[in-house]
């Protein structure tokens, strides 16, 4: 089985998506807690929330989604952790590029109850694109399910 085909096996995508929803929830709670209590501004809160979320998602994916992949030992764990962060940085950048492209270079207006929803929809498209990049990148570079 090749590396890409292995990503479609046995519910990996569903588990990865579940972990992602958990991570997004944790990040949102951290951002809310830090901004609602005026401990920090939204950008710092986003950075703190993202790091906590990415680290949590790595552990959950390492122990559940891709539990059969990756060698044992602390050195291997740290290596996967660092590769995961690199993959996530690429996914985040892709999400930003999609958002910027759709909001700055595409003229679309989606209004509901007087609210302009296009930036939010464009962000969701960016998140979805980033998710795809992250899933493929994590499966190919952080963990390699084809080797299990």
CA distance 80 to 102: 33
Return the top range by mean pLDDT from 8-22, 41-55, 76-90, 101-115: 76-90
pLDDT tens readout for residues 93-141: 999 899 899 999 998 999 999 888 898 899 889 999 999 999 999 988 9
Dihedral angle, C-alpha 82, 134, 89, 37, nearest 10 °: -100
108: number of Cβ within 10 Å: 12
Q: Which residues contact 97 (CB under 8 A, 6 or more apart)?
A: 126
User: Which percentage of the chain shows pLDDT scores above 70?
Assistant: 95
Domain-wise residue ranges, the chain: 3-143
Angle at the Cα of 81 from the Cα atoms of 73 and 93, rounded to 5 degrees: 165
């Amino acid at each position: 089985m090749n590396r890409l085909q292995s990503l479609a096996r046995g519910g990996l995508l569903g588990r990865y998506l579940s972990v992602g929803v958990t991570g997004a929830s944790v990040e949102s709670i951290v951002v809310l807690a830090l901004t609602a209590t005026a401990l920090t501004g939204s950008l710092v809160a986003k950075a703190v929330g993202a790091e906590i979320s990415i680290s949590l998602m790595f552990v959950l994916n390492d122990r559940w989604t891709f539990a059969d992949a990756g060698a044992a030992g602390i050195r291997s764990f740290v290596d996967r952790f660092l590769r995961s962060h690199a993959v996530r940085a690429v996914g985040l950048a892709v999400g930003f590029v999609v958002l910027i492209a759709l909001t700055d270079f595409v003229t679309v207006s989606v209004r509901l109850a007087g609210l302009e929803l296009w930036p939010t929809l464009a962000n969701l498209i960016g998140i979805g694109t980033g998710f795809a990049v992250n899933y493929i990148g994590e499966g190919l570079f952080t963990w390699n399910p084809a080797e299990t």
